[in-house]
Amino acid sequence: MSDLLEKPAVEERRIRTSARPDLADLVFLGWARISGAFVLVVMLGVGGYLALRATRALRTAGWSFLTVENWNPDGGHGQFGIAAVLIGTVLIGGVAVSLALPLALGSALYISEYAPRKLKRTLVGLVDLMAAVPSVVYGVWGFVLLQYKMTGIARWLASSDVACAAAWAGPGHGERTVLLDARDGEEQRVTELLWTEALRLARDGMTAEELAEELAGVREVKLDPRSVPYELGEAAGDLLLGGRYQQPDERLAALAAVTPGQARDAFSAALATALLVTPCGGGHNLGTADGRPLPRFHCTGDRAPADGRVFRPSLAARLLSGEARRARLTATDRGLWATGPGGTTHHIPFEEVVAVEMHGPGRLVYGRSTCFIPVMSELYREIGAAVRLIDSAVPERLRYTSSGFRTVDA
């Protein structure tokens, strides 16, 4: 027979809880309820305010608010919409989700299922630390660092990037620049395309459709309220240079009166002094409108001559910067050679100098090839000898002060 062992009695311990919460619990509970209700009221108030204020705009625009790209609520007809920014917003959101979702899901699975215990604690702490950093910090990091690193990829994906700039030299005079940033390997094709189109416009002029498209684009820009700062800058420039500022409506009316023949004459006259700036080493063979070979001027030169006077940055700059240790300026009675940190040498013969901008004791020398070499005391030490060579070799009519505005006494 087997002995039956009785289970020892276990004394049950009961935890007494108070039926009523104490004062601290009541205060915390009330504060949590009030805070939650306050946040809810604020969110409802913001949503109601936005809905109330947007009702009038949506009644005016209707469903075209989602399809119209122009934003001109003060233009009389009230044409405005978010189509221009809606596409970009959707694309940016899609790219962000496509990058963040796999990374977040993969990190969560690895930390919870595969990571060793010691490593898991470290990774959880890092994730909590990243969650505590405001999102604006990641935005600044992307803007400062990631955007710079992605520039090469963006240039490879896009065939070219087009931009324009203008420099006014007085009433009725100015320079217009068309900038095309082609991806690697496409420089020659884009250069030939740009010059061929310029020759066509100078020979045949713009068609009526092209002129109407240009007018529509200018009208959209001029009637956009965001162009007001640009208009203020133009008005200030006309006031300082003695010109007459034209209101956007007046300028649009004048542009609408331009004929294709007038556009052809303007292109033909501008082409006589046009400069085509291309990357160094391009192998294109382009010609002028009358069939002559297009003159070529090179900015990058050979190695600096050994018989020249060499100017280098200050000793302190060379001790602190490797780029300063590699930079140098060489001057002779024949011209200037500037060697950059990467070893590339830019050369401007004095016979090809088109302008010298005087900055106190320094000089900024411009060559015919649009290359320029700064001879400044901030960059090189003891530049007096180089400045004397420049002043003796370049005619006085090509030298001017750094400011285009002169006082009454000057």
91 and 128 share one domain: yes
Integer Cα distance of 410 and 407 in angstroms? 5
E-strand stretches of 198-317: 309-311
370 and 318 share one domain: yes
| In-domain check, residue 313 | yes
Q: Give the Å distances, CA to CA, from 85 to 68, 71, 134, 151, 241.
A: 10, 10, 25, 22, 37
Domain boundary among 224, 245, 271: 271
pLDDT digits (tens, 9 = 90+) for 221-265: 887 777 788 888 888 877 877 778 888 888 888 888 888 888 888
Query: Please, which pLDDT band fits residue 7 given cuts at 50, 70 and 90?
Result: low
Q: Is the pLDDT of residue 156 over 70?
A: no
Tally of domains in the chain: 3
Residue with the larger pLDDT of the pair 230 and 387? 387
**Domain of residue 325, CATH code:** 2.30.29
pLDDT computed for residue 387 by the predictor: 93
| In-domain check, residue 38 | no
140 and 203 share one domain: no
189 and 129 share one domain: no
| In-domain check, residue 410 | no
Q: Tell me the average pLDDT across 164-173.
A: 59
223 and 313 share one domain: no
Domain boundary among 127, 154, 181: 154
For the chain, give the mean pLDDT.
80
In terms of DSSP bridges, do strands 399-401 and 353-359 run parallel, antiparallel, or are they unpaired? parallel
- Number of Cβ atoms within 10 Å of the Cβ of 284: 14
Which H/E stretch holds residue 355? strand 353-359
Query: Please, which pLDDT band fits residue 408 given cuts at 50, 70 and 90?
Result: very low
pLDDT computed for residue 143 by the predictor: 80
Closest among 298, 270, 295, 258 to 198, alpha carbons compared: 270
- The values of phi and psi at residue 346, to 5°, are -105, 135
pLDDT digits (tens, 9 = 90+) for 262-282: 888 888 888 877 777 776 656
| In-domain check, residue 219 | yes
**Domain of residue 218, CATH code:** 3.30.830.10
Lowest mean pLDDT among 140-144, 172-176, 287-291, 343-347: 172-176
Q: Is the pLDDT of residue 6 over 70?
A: no
pLDDT computed for residue 3 by the predictor: 53
| In-domain check, residue 10 | no
334 and 373 share one domain: yes
Cα torsion 300, 304, 310, 314 to 10°: value is: 50
| In-domain check, residue 389 | yes
Domain boundary among 248, 271, 294: 271
Q: Whole domain around residue 73: which residue ranges? A: 58-154
257 and 179 share one domain: yes
Query: Please, which pLDDT band fits residue 407 given cuts at 50, 70 and 90?
Result: very low
| In-domain check, residue 293 | no
146 and 203 share one domain: no
Whole-model pTM over 0.85? no
CB 186 within 8 A of CB 160: yes
Tokens, residue 408: 């009454």
150 and 64 share one domain: yes
pLDDT computed for residue 356 by the predictor: 92
Q: How much of the chain, in percent, has pLDDT values that exceed 70?
A: 82
pLDDT digits (tens, 9 = 90+) for 290-329: 888 887 777 766 778 888 899 999 888 888 888 888 899 9
pLDDT digits (tens, 9 = 90+) for 33-64: 999 999 999 999 999 998 888 887 777 777 77
pLDDT computed for residue 193 by the predictor: 83
Residue with tokens 């006031």: 239
| In-domain check, residue 259 | yes
E-strand stretches of 71-110: 71-72, 79-80
119 and 168 share one domain: no
